[in-house]
Structure 1
Amino acid sequence: MKGLLIAVCGLDGSGKSTQIQKLENWFRNQQLPTLLTKQPTDYYRQDLRVREYLDNGQCGSMEALAMLAAADRIWHIKTLIEPSLKGGVSVISDRYLFSSLAYFSARGLDVQYVKQLNNGTLIPDLTVFLDVEPEILLQRISIRDGKTTKFEEREPTMFTKVREAFLNEVLPSNALIIDGTLSEEEIHKIIIGELNLIIKDKIIAT
């Protein structure tokens, strides 16, 4: 069976990392080959133009940043994700296209413009969005990071804009939206329940 592409999305502090690790462990326990990756990749994150915005809020062209993100994503898909899926390896991506759409929308770009830049992006077999109220996210990040927060994490309204973009504009209709304030085990159980249904459908189809 071809590998599955699973995208786990959510704002910082939503519990993504915990659920991704649990999901990876589940695949390994089932003796199913899996690859854990993330978008955007470190090539994008470490670009000085990107860091200037993320750290200090300075940006000469938001459109150019969106192009950089799209190029990074397409390269990542073509060189890593697609070959892995074809080889029967399931890929778990920490964030994906939908995160880019939501964040750039909150930064003032038109969603359709960003979608066009990412034309042809693979559609995940499962998209998970961990939904948490902005006030709770800010509390979690403050406890986790102290004063070393990124530029966008210093503006509370940004969290609201990104969350609204996720829920109202960019998530696919079949996205699994989960209350991120549930316990870690409850969230994991919901994800695995949906994943088992997808795997069953894939087996029947083949």
Structure 2
Amino acid sequence: MVGKFIVVEGIDKSGKTTVALKVKEYLQKYKKSIHCMSFPERTTEIGKILNKFLSKKIKLPNETVHLLFSANRWEFAKEISEKRKDQIILCDRYYLSGLSYSIVNGLDEEWCEFSDKGLPKPDLTIFIDIKPTEVVCRKGFGEEIYECSEYQKKVYEVLKINVLKSKEFMIIDGNLSIEEIVENISLSILNLK
């Protein structure tokens, strides 16, 4: 089997993690080898610093935050390259999230892109398209530093534009039922060449 690297993007609390796990279950019925991952990956030393920042325990300059998120992705670049040879990798967030959040934080787009040059490129980027006004009432919204309605509105706009610039992308209506979202994404992955 030839593997694929699939990234699921969306604003905070858009359902990325839930969707990735349910797509994994769906694809396993077809005897596909699936590996799920999520960024930031909070178990590494860099990930632990990011977790402290996101949970509002420490403050950091925007440039430092961007570089830490990028470094966290680089920690897994080799693993992604190896596993994608014969597995489907489902990744909850990747460099388009990092780029989009940093742009909203006022950083230069070109500068932000530089730290991610050379990372493995996704075969498909899926954007769960749900408006920030729809997610503010979801459990846990507001617990992390970037989870406020106005901020997420800006992230939504920038992230959607960045997804549309991707070579291979899919936009899925985040207001569909979870079953419809999972089936649509799973079938798209199964049909990837």
Return the TM-score normalized by structure 2: 0.89
Match of residue 197 from structure 1 = 191
Alignment of 1:118-129 (within 5 A): 118-129=116-127
Residues 1:182 and 2:176 aligned together:
yes
What is the percentage of aligned positions where both structures have the same residue? 28
Match of residue 27 from structure 1 = 27
Match of residue 94 from structure 2 = 96
Aligned equivalents of 1:68 and 1:192: distance in 2? Answer: 31
Unaligned 5+ runs, structure 1:
202-206
Alignment of 1:7-156 (within 5 A): 7-42=7-42, 43=44, 44-47=46-49, 50-56=50-56, 59-78=59-78, 80-86=79-85, 88-140=86-138, 144-145=139-140, 149-153=143-147, 155-156=148-149
Say if 2:123 and 2:168, in contact at 8 Å, map to a contact too.
no
Say if 2:23 and 2:183, in contact at 8 Å, map to a contact too.
no
Say if 2:34 and 2:88, in contact at 8 Å, map to a contact too.
yes
Match of residue 168 from structure 1 = 161
Say if 1:57 and 1:151, in contact at 8 Å, map to a contact too.
no
Unaligned 5+ runs, structure 2:
none
Aligned equivalents of 2:17 and 2:125: distance in 1? Answer: 15
Aligned equivalents of 2:145 and 2:57: distance in 1? Answer: 6
**How far off is 1:29 after superposition?**
1.1
The aligned length equals 190
**How far off is 1:162 after superposition?**
0.5
Give the letter for the 2:75 counterpart: W
RMSD in angstroms over aligned alpha carbons? 2.0
Change (3 A) 1:169 1:4: closer
Aligned equivalents of 2:28 and 2:187: distance in 1? Answer: 17
Match of residue 204 from structure 1 = none
**How far off is 1:115 after superposition?**
0.9
Aligned equivalents of 1:51 and 1:117: distance in 2? Answer: 20
Larger relative helix fraction? 1
Aligned equivalents of 1:113 and 1:57: distance in 2? Answer: 27
Structure (1 or 2) with the larger CA radius of gyration: 1
Say if 1:57 and 1:152, in contact at 8 Å, map to a contact too.
no
Give the letter for the 1:180 counterpart: G
Say if 2:54 and 2:145, in contact at 8 Å, map to a contact too.
yes
